[in-house]
Structure 1
Amino acid sequence: MSSKMVVKQPQPVMDHQDSNEWSSGICDCCQDVPECCFAFWCFPCFTCITAKKYGQCLCLPLLDGFGLIPPISMSMRVSMRQRYGIRGDMCNDCVYSFFCTSCSWCQMSREMKRRQIPIVLVNARYQ
């Protein structure tokens, strides 16, 4: 009598958010206090690290200091809205980038953390 071995591989489970709104408000810095403090005390470092996590050049946000409206901050907001399907318009992105630059970067960082789609292995057993 022959025996048949059945191997069952774990399948990835993806958590997906379908919201078309920002997951936090522009002034919800208390949702991630350490990150807010980091942005407050060392804003250039914070923006560079956030841009790198988003997949952009590490030093790109340093170019924001050469204009009236920070072009990199505004571009990142527009790009993030398009990538995650968040409602909004360029006028609001411009206002937030100009008047609330640090809060805007904190909001983008929180959004990236919440919108990451982790792959979780369920029922994985090693024998």
Structure 2
Amino acid sequence: MDPYVAQKSTPPSAPSAYGQPPVTGIPLSPPYNYVHNSQPPPPLPHAHAGAPGEWSTGLCDCFSDVSNCCITFWCPCITFGQIAEIIDRGSTSCGASGALYTLIAFVTGCPCIYSCFYRSKMRRQYMLPENPCADCLVHCFCESCALCQEYRELKNRGFDMYLGWHGNVEGQNPAMTMAPAVQGGMSR
């Protein structure tokens, strides 16, 4: 039997026996993902990089990334700003979050009242446990270690912390960074 004849006799809702899309009269664009045993496309690098329910590093593993440990110790507002921009998905900039962190540190002397909320938000996003104790206590007693752990967690999930949210998004979709150019514009 001719494969084209068999394909025409196939109902429009079912794929053909040859893995091709059904004949519907509507043009379909590739890829024709009609194979019954096909796998879904792989997730984005940071979508499921860490296992839910566990941190990728411990709270006191600060020296596994010495450069970030030094930056966090001397200027925690930089690390906090980078973390906040990623967690807020670009709705606040690194500079604005870092400046607010610094302002709260100067006014209250306790920036942990602001940074602990971001740890809680990050834990909810990635389904992480409240380890080793409550978020506010971790930030109150180990602010630098908590910020380093959050930084490492995002980095281990595939984020380039120096690029920020928008840089990471553009890096994943390089073809989507520019709109196509239109020549000539509209005319009558």
Please confirm whether the aligned pair reaches a TM-score higher than 0.5, indicating the same fold: yes
The answer to whether structure 1 residue 62 and structure 2 residue 105 are counterparts is no
Deviation at 1:67, TM superposition (A): 6.2
Runs of 5+ unmatched residues, structure 1: 1-6, 120-127
Identity percentage of aligned residues: 34
Return the structure number with greater helix share. 1
What residue is the counterpart of 1:84 in the other structure? 126
Deviation at 1:111, TM superposition (A): 0.8
Deviations 1:31-88 (A, max 9, x none): 2111111112222222223322333443342354226572211101100110000112
Deviation at 1:98, TM superposition (A): 0.4
The answer to whether structure 1 residue 107 and structure 2 residue 149 are counterparts is yes
1:96 is paired with a residue of what secondary structure? helix
What letter corresponds to residue 51 of structure 2 in structure 1?
A: D
Deviations 1:67-125 (A, max 9, x none): 65722111011001100001127x52111110110111111111111224896xxxxxx
Write the distance in 1 (CA, Å) between the matches of 2:115 and 2:83: 11
The two structures have a TM-score, normalised by structure 2, of 0.49
Quick one: higher RCO (CA 8 Å, sep 6+), 1 or 2?
Answer: 1
Write the distance in 1 (CA, Å) between the matches of 2:51 and 2:31: 31
State the aligned residue count: 113
Task: Answer with 1 or 2: which has the greater Rg.
Answer: 2
- Backbone CA RMSD of aligned residues: 3.1
1:46 is paired with a residue of what secondary structure? helix
| Contact 1:39 1:102 (8 Å CA) reproduced | yes
Runs of 5+ unmatched residues, structure 2: 1-29, 33-39, 160-167, 173-188
